[in-house]
Structure 1
Amino acid sequence: MAPVFFLLLFSQIFLCTAVDTINSTTPLSGMQKIVSKGGRFALGFYTPPQGNNTASGTGNYYIAIWYNNIPLQTTVWTANSDVPVSDPTTASLSIGSDGNLVLLDQSKNRQLWSTNVSVASNSTVAVIQDGGSLDLMDATNSSKVYWRSIDHPTNTWLPGGKLGLNKTTGVSQRLVPWRNNANPSPGLFSLELDPNGTTQYFIQWNDSITYWTSGPWNGNIFSLVPEMTAGYNYNFRFINNVSESYFIYSMKDDSIISRFTIDVNGQIKQWTWVPASENWILFWSQPRTQCEVYGLCGAYGSCNLNVLPFCNCIKGFNQKFQSDWDLQDFTGGCKRNVPLQCQTNSSSAQTQPDKFYSMVSVRLPDNAQSAVAASSQACQVACLNNCSCNAYTYNNSGCFVWHGDLINLQDQYNGNGGGTLFLRLAASELPDSKKSKKMIIGAVVGGVAAALIILAIVLFIVFQKCRRDRTLRISKTTGGALIAFRYSDLQHEGDVQTLLDPRLNGDASADELTKACKVACWCIQDDENGRPTMGQVVQILEGFLDVNMPPVPRSLKILDESPDVINFFSDVSSSQTSQMHNSTASSQTKSSTSGGSQFQST
């Protein structure tokens, strides 16, 4: 029993002293992890969150390195990005027989990943360092390092890591983003040092199109990164020798946790951890706007800085891979909803020819081809005559057509390379122009007629109310003998409360009465252009729009300037007037009118 006891005790002591190490006898498996001596970084099996749900993983596991001393799990490196493990309990990260570090899927008896370097001895160990690097080194001589993960970055550049070019092999150390937020396999963008030997970094799309450069290094800063001032928190150094050229950086304050990443949307970003808020703060990113990233929205997708998400499919297209779009990977682009007429090989008389949809103020796609055409109509015909033509534009430089996919579109764009793009679509994607014209004309005529009817009703109600209220006011003040008023008297008097129904006992807002009277007077202006619209009437009555006292209409001005004014007569006696105050005002108004009132104008 004693030998067994000492063997177990020795194993426990070894595990306690080797929590940062993987060797030939202690592989990593399941939910185990190793932690750097200072506790800053950890390595183990990691599963990305499923979309925005951080509590639910994707079910795919990767060997990854992450910050161990912050609450928000943030990975900085992954090993098997292309070949995930479905069950970490059946996989192991161990030292192979040739001394390399290997990831094995034991359930399938398959090697998923390896450091794949030449090792002088099979006596090696893998150690996670406080700088975030997993180092493969000689077990008896720690100064002999065969491989470092920090020199083989994925999407993150850490302090102390190289990012440059191996002149012997021609292989670049590059930053490549995850495919999407739940898939660490390589995306379409990459950041690397110029392979032509200059001291500037490029960001490229699909290893072919450069859409951002840092500018050359002048010994202190990159020329196109003015943020790198004397107060910058980083110390950058450029190393250039026979075998390699690279940049390396360190933090001026080692207590600051910071990193550079290239994100799924193709921007290089500088992040710094703020303990007070327990979150990463973005300090710098390039390109500055998301729509400057080439091909961000994929084929037939268009970028728009004024909406979220930035990418949307253009008219006649929808997302090719909706699940990728949900995870912020738009590079898969969009697919056509309805095939073009020329692609269906249909000769039916009912099949309409393809049409064009006008996209105004867009950034035109790349790879335009010039065509011979003397007018926009001729340019359209040239495009229609070729089934592979998907769009055209016509401007001062002539006719240009696009064959194949349309990439790098941007909406609401007024910079260089912008214009109007005519997109080719199946006829069913666009409304019939004749029917649309009839519908528009019908809608306009119907709308105008409805507005006139509503205006007439409002004017009639306002006129009737003003007439009734004026009769009541005059009857009250004169005991039945009606007094003549001119428009100018009412205009300059300003006491709108006299127009109020006496049954309300003055319980009304003078401002509301003033607005109502102004609306009524504006609505009877001689010049119809001076009359308010129904929308303006509503705004005035609701107090959103203020108006001045309207001018006197010419028809009323003639009456106002006449020596004989409008007279109203009433044979209502004083007793009837008294009775009117005790009965319903509206009914008395009717009786006085029918009982002998007459309207006389000379």
Structure 2
Amino acid sequence: MDQQLFTKLLFCFLTIFKLCIAAQSDHTLSPNQTLVDGQLLISSSKIFELGFSSPANNTRRFLVIRYRNTPDVFVWLANRETPLTGRQGRLTLTNNGSLILTSPHLTTTLWIPSSDATVSSPTLQLLDSGNLVLTGDKQGTYLWQSFDYPCNTRLPGMTMTVDRAKYLTSWRSSNDPFPGEYSYGISNEGLSQIVVAKGKKKTYRTVFWNNEFVGFPNLGERAWMTEATSRKGRLVSVTNPIDDPGITRITLNPGGMVERFMMNERRDGWTSMLASPRDSCEVYGKCGGNGICKVYMTPICECLKGFRPRAETE
């Protein structure tokens, strides 16, 4: 083989190899770099990873953030409503800062700068908090972040606000991440509260009163502390402080139950610490406006004094 041709081929091979290794082991993506199916962005402490994956018993591909030690647990999906077929997905950060997800049959723009904006030195980075952030040349400023577009999981440091874009939505089923029937977010209709709803029907709530959540169980761990912001007595935002990243998560499951999980000591599995509603009596309006719910009774509902059930079976 001609020595000059060999040198060129070797240079091309080493360049491609270097790019692949960087994409598989680095926590950042630079302008005009592409993350393809099979490559990963890994947070600096190796807690979270970003890559293409599929839920169990599902052949469609999604760009997901998941735990590195428990890769079956997805905390965020870029394309939960537009899954890819095949393994030809690509995430590209363009020179002007656009973030584009492509496959042979689909193009999805995750973020694009406004026409009058100039983005210098864009960088996509996966943080140890599980937040995927796009930064420019301004220190400490995020042009875009995955925490602003939650799916079914709330992580420490993620803020839930009254803005309807900042609430959780369940998966349609355990292996289908398409938005399901249930939502979990802040409501200021009547009393300020955090509400689980099936469509528009409220199924569970925690009331915010006098700057605290009434009836909210205290697990005695800083990891479960909730920081709330209110304005004129109305709930504005709720967040959990970042203490030990990757240890806790709150998930809204397909059946409308909110579960709080803690990673075990071996860091290879999860323990459910709390599930709400905890029993049938915590289901909102279970016994109607004039009923009392007693979980130890059969039936569990009884009427207030002076009222009677509409039907004996109730």
**TM-score, length-scaled by structure 2:** 0.78
In 1, the alpha carbon distance for the partners of 2:22 and 2:166 equals: 33
Amino acid at match of 1:49: A
- Who is 1:136 aligned against? 134
- Who is 1:288 aligned against? 278
- Who is 1:23 aligned against? 30
Partner of residue 92 from structure 1, selected from 77, 90, 93? 90
DSSP-derived class of the 1:272 partner: strand
DSSP-derived class of the 2:60 partner: coil
| Aligned alpha-carbon RMSD (Å) | 3.4
- Who is 1:182 aligned against? 175
- Who is 2:224 aligned against? 234
Amino acid at match of 2:301: G
- Who is 1:64 aligned against? 64
Structure 1 residue 210 corresponds to structure 2 residue 202: yes
Structure 2 alignment gaps of length 5 or more: 289-297, 303-308
In 2, the alpha carbon distance for the partners of 1:197 and 1:5 equals: 69
Partner of residue 224 from structure 1, selected from 215, 221, 229? 215
Structure 1 residue 45 corresponds to structure 2 residue 52: yes
- Who is 2:250 aligned against? 260
In 2, the alpha carbon distance for the partners of 1:117 and 1:218 equals: 41
Amino acid at match of 1:34: L
CA apart distance, 1:268? 0.7
Query: Would the alpha carbon gap of residues 86 and 231 (structure 1) be closer, same or farther in structure 2, given more than 3 Å must change?
Result: closer
Amino acid at match of 1:182: N
Amino acid at match of 1:238: A
DSSP-derived class of the 1:233 partner: helix
- Who is 1:54 aligned against? none
- Who is 2:301 aligned against? 415
Please list the CA deviations of residues 480-500 of structure 1 after superposition, one character each: whole Å capped at 9, or x if unmatched.
xxxxxxxxxxxxxxxxxxxxx
In 2, the alpha carbon distance for the partners of 1:195 and 1:96 equals: 40
In 2, the alpha carbon distance for the partners of 1:231 and 1:189 equals: 28
In 1, the alpha carbon distance for the partners of 2:246 and 2:51 equals: 24
- Who is 2:295 aligned against? none
Amino acid at match of 1:212: Y
Amino acid at match of 1:181: S
Higher relative contact order (CA 8 A, sep 6+): 2
Amino acid at match of 1:266: G
The answer as to whether partners of 2:196 and 2:202 remain within 8 angstroms in 1 is yes
In 1, the alpha carbon distance for the partners of 2:283 and 2:35 equals: 39
In 1, the alpha carbon distance for the partners of 2:149 and 2:107 equals: 19
In 2, the alpha carbon distance for the partners of 1:84 and 1:291 equals: 38
Query: Would the alpha carbon gap of residues 290 and 78 (structure 1) be closer, same or farther in structure 2, given more than 3 Å must change?
Result: farther
In 2, the alpha carbon distance for the partners of 1:224 and 1:116 equals: 43
Query: Would the alpha carbon gap of residues 165 and 21 (structure 1) be closer, same or farther in structure 2, given more than 3 Å must change?
Result: same
In 2, the alpha carbon distance for the partners of 1:162 and 1:255 equals: 15
CA apart distance, 1:292? 6.0
CA apart distance, 1:280? 1.2
CA apart distance, 1:125? 2.5
CA apart distance, 1:290? 6.2
- Who is 2:159 aligned against? 162
In 1, the alpha carbon distance for the partners of 2:127 and 2:107 equals: 25
Please list the CA deviations of residues 351-402 of structure 1 after superposition, one character each: whole Å capped at 9, or x if unmatched.
xxxxxxxxxxxx89x9xxxxxxxxxxxxxxxxxxxxxxxxxxxxxxxxxxxx
In 1, the alpha carbon distance for the partners of 2:181 and 2:101 equals: 26
CA apart distance, 1:251? 4.5
Amino acid at match of 1:192: G
Structure 1 alignment gaps of length 5 or more: 51-57, 295-362, 367-411, 423-602
DSSP-derived class of the 1:126 partner: strand
In 2, the alpha carbon distance for the partners of 1:39 and 1:75 equals: 15
Number of corresponding residues = 288
Partner of residue 263 from structure 2, selected from 255, 262, 273? 273
Amino acid at match of 2:277: P
The answer as to whether partners of 2:132 and 2:145 remain within 8 angstroms in 1 is yes
In 1, the alpha carbon distance for the partners of 2:113 and 2:206 equals: 32
DSSP-derived class of the 1:187 partner: strand
Amino acid at match of 2:254: V
The answer as to whether partners of 2:129 and 2:245 remain within 8 angstroms in 1 is no
More helix by share: 1
In 2, the alpha carbon distance for the partners of 1:16 and 1:23 equals: 14
In 2, the alpha carbon distance for the partners of 1:6 and 1:194 equals: 59
- Who is 1:32 aligned against? 39
Query: Would the alpha carbon gap of residues 81 and 113 (structure 1) be closer, same or farther in structure 2, given more than 3 Å must change?
Result: farther
In 2, the alpha carbon distance for the partners of 1:197 and 1:137 equals: 39
In 1, the alpha carbon distance for the partners of 2:14 and 2:204 equals: 58
Query: Would the alpha carbon gap of residues 199 and 172 (structure 1) be closer, same or farther in structure 2, given more than 3 Å must change?
Result: farther
Amino-acid identity (%): 22
- Who is 2:306 aligned against? none
**TM-score, length-scaled by structure 1:** 0.43
Query: Would the alpha carbon gap of residues 74 and 420 (structure 1) be closer, same or farther in structure 2, given more than 3 Å must change?
Result: same
Amino acid at match of 1:48: P
- Who is 1:245 aligned against? 236
CA apart distance, 1:210? 1.2
Superposition pairs of residues 355-366 of structure 1, within 5 angstroms: none
